[in-house]
Chains A and B, each alone.
Chain A
Amino acid sequence: MKGVIFRGLESLVIEKCGMAAWEALLEKNAPDDRVYISAQSYPDEELFGLAQDVAVALQLPMTDVLRAFGEYLFGYLLQRHPTIVDEFDGFVSLIMGIDSVIHVEVAKLYQEPNLPKIRCEVIEEGFILMHYYSSRKLCLCAEGLIYGAAAHYNMNVTLDHVECMHKGADECAIEVRFIKVAA
């Protein structure tokens, strides 16, 4: 997993729980003197270990932690790469452009070979069906990222994870229903 994701988690933990909590997490789950650098790759197990311990510390289910992390991560990445998000004129174009725009940019910057595969289809106005596949099975994090994007574009969003790799499906199917928040 690329360091930029670890840096997002670092930022979230320090913001919500403080530096001591992050240091304790690092101590337990990462080698000594670990400093995460965005462009560098680190073992996936480190991220899962850190996320697991965040869940324990916050007394929340892992699913909630991943979702919350995804939502936070969207804001974190937006702050770092505003120009990428500027390419989209709204929530729908961003969701539809995850593979063709965002992942292309990610590949440019980080040479990440294991990006998730995402296919989206607009079923009707206010309804997108997203297909998600990743060997890391971080679909809940993807859900969080959708929540983050919806918040950015002022959308009320409801997600229905109708098929899930964690339940034996070949890929996840997430129904994304959304409506603009009234001003």
Chain B
Amino acid sequence: MSEVGHNYEKAYLREKAARDELERLLEDKTRALFNANQALEEKIELLQNQQAVLMQTEKMATLGTLSAGVAHEINNPLAYVTSNLESIGYLKPTLVSLLQLAQKLMSQSVPEQEVIETITQLDNGLSLEFILEDLDELLDDTHEGLKRISAIVTNLLSFARPKNNLMAMSDVTESLDGAIKLLTNQLKNSKVECIKEELPLTYCNLSAINQVFVNLLLNAKYACDLMTEQYPHLVVKLSADPEYIYIEIKDNGEGMSDETIDRIFEPFYTTKPVGKGTGMGMAIVYSIVKEHRGDIYIESTLRKGSLIRCRLPIVKEPNPNFE
């Protein structure tokens, strides 16, 4: 081999060794990057699981807050349903006698005179006219009471059940209606004004949005309760443009300081007395809004009130990034 050829071969071998070394470095870095990425993915999964647990814990804590009101809400219809059933029980002997008489009449085993006498006797005991008037009302009220209890229990279950990934084409208005019903007792001493525009359906998790409404309304109510000198006034507004759904909750409560606004979405941050709040409510609201690729804005003035505005993009088809 000529000297030139020999030099070229040496140069090639040096270049090859350099290529080997660079590739080894690249492979080491790639492997390290892969492993770090895998560890991060595991941590993200762990965090997501923990977040789901936290959300459920917060729900349970909210349920604790709601329980007294819910019990009261159930107790009212339960009281008149019970009373109505007692009244129906009081009517029962007369009704049974009338039915038995009707049976005998159909089988023609009773003389007409006896029928008239028995009916007159029954009418003297309990006025048949009274029964006719009262029975419909008793049954209608009982039915209405049971429907109210059923609605309260349905709303409660819908709030309490973990349904973290139930995304579907839905009307956000349903979440608001559910929350308002659930909070009937909490909000009974407040003026709650709902301004609801017709909303387009959007791909969202109704149960989670329901939690957003419950948490925001409870916070608004709490802020109002701190202002004893005026009647609580909450305004809930739902509106939409072609791209977004807007949720606004305005109160005339105590308002927030700049520090509170800055820290409101921090987990475990709370202005409530020890034992009164978990400090997770707004962190969870934030996480739900972000899961829906939305934004949340706060305007607040101390001793004037607050306005919380959520903006959710209208999604017309399932987005794989949501789940």
Contacts and interface: CB of A to CB of B under 8 A. Distances in A.
A77 to B, nearest CB: 12
A38 B24 CA distance: 10
A109 B24 contact: no
A24 interface: no
Given A19-B12, A80-B24, A109 B30 contact: yes
A35 B16 CA distance: 10
Nearest to B15: A35
Given A108-B31, A109-B30, A37 B19 contact: yes
B27 A109 contact: yes
A45 B91 CA distance: 95
B30 A108 contact: yes
Contacts of A123: none
Interface string B26-41: 1100110010000000
B23 interface: yes
Nearest to B28: A109
B27 A39 contact: yes
B104 to A, nearest CB: 84
Contacts of B198: none
A108 B32 CA distance: 10
B9 interface: yes
B31 A109 contact: yes
Interface in B1-60: 8-9, 12, 19-20, 23-24, 26-27, 30-31, 34
A139 to B, nearest CB: 27
Contacts of B20: 80
Contacts of B34: 108-109
24 contacts: A19-B8, A19-B9, A19-B12, A35-B19, A37-B19, A37-B23, A38-B23, A38-B26, A38-B27, A39-B23, A39-B26, A39-B27, A39-B30, A80-B20, A80-B23, A80-B24, A81-B27, A108-B30, A108-B31, A108-B34, A109-B27, A109-B30, A109-B31, A109-B34
Interface of B: 8-9, 12, 19-20, 23-24, 26-27, 30-31, 34
Interface of A: 19, 35, 37-39, 80-81, 108-109
Nearest first, the 9 closest Cβ-Cβ pairs linking A and B are: A108-B34, A38-B23, A109-B27, A109-B30, A108-B31, A19-B9, A39-B26, A19-B12, A109-B31
